[in-house]
Amino acid sequence: MRPALPALADVQALPLLLRAVVPPEYRDDNDHMNVRFYLALFDDAGYPMIENMGLTPEYHKAHQTGGFDLEHHLRYLAEVRIGETVAIHWRLLTHSPKRMHYLMFMVNETRPSLAATFECVNSFADLRVRKTAPFPPEVQAQLAALHAAHSALAWQAPACGVMSA
């Protein structure tokens, strides 16, 4: 069984990756944000997450590297309406030399609530051979420090239970 959802304050204490107002073009026939745009916002939040580790577009271009998402699990918890403000925070669950397993949390700041979670396993990639590769040592060190900090949190992450780095 999956752990209980964390308190909103606990999620909001995690690193903030993105804040956005849901635009009219994200509307679906039910007059709320269409499911495809939850994934788009989580994807948009992934870029600052990676860039904060030094894996900027310039780094990737210079080293012919990138990232591959290997697995996703998206959980919808509450509807988000057009014009509402959402914020995405993240928590590292685990990592290996080539992969990281993390959760992102979408918070509806307009109606304070947890709107969705996004769980992902992502790998570093050598684009010259189009295969996974070890993260650079400095990124591995950042992942280890972040994992230690996030593992020490007083609440259990609501992971789906079938994914792992």
pLDDT at 2: 73
pLDDT digits (tens, 9 = 90+) for 34-64: 999 999 999 999 999 999 999 999 999 999 9
pLDDT at 62: 97
What percent of the chain clears pLDDT 70, i.e. is strictly above it?
99
pLDDT digits (tens, 9 = 90+) for 98-115: 999 999 999 999 999 999
Average pLDDT, the chain: 96
Domains and CATH numbers, the chain: 8-151 (3.10.129.10)
pLDDT at 161: 85
Res. 164: pLDDT tops 90: no
What percent of the chain clears pLDDT 90, i.e. is strictly above it?
94
**Cα four-point dihedral sign 23, 28, 31, 32:** negative
CA distance 78 to 25: 19
pLDDT digits (tens, 9 = 90+) for 57-99: 999 999 999 999 999 999 999 999 999 999 999 999 999 999 9
Q: Give 150's contacts (C-beta < 8 A, 6+ positions apart).
A: 14, 91, 92, 93
Mean pLDDT value of segment 129-147: 97
pLDDT at 78: 95
Q: Which residues pair with 121 in a beta bridge?
A: 71, 101
Between the alpha carbon of residue 52 and those of residues 99, 112, 120, 146, the distances in Å are: 16, 26, 17, 12
pLDDT at 3: 79
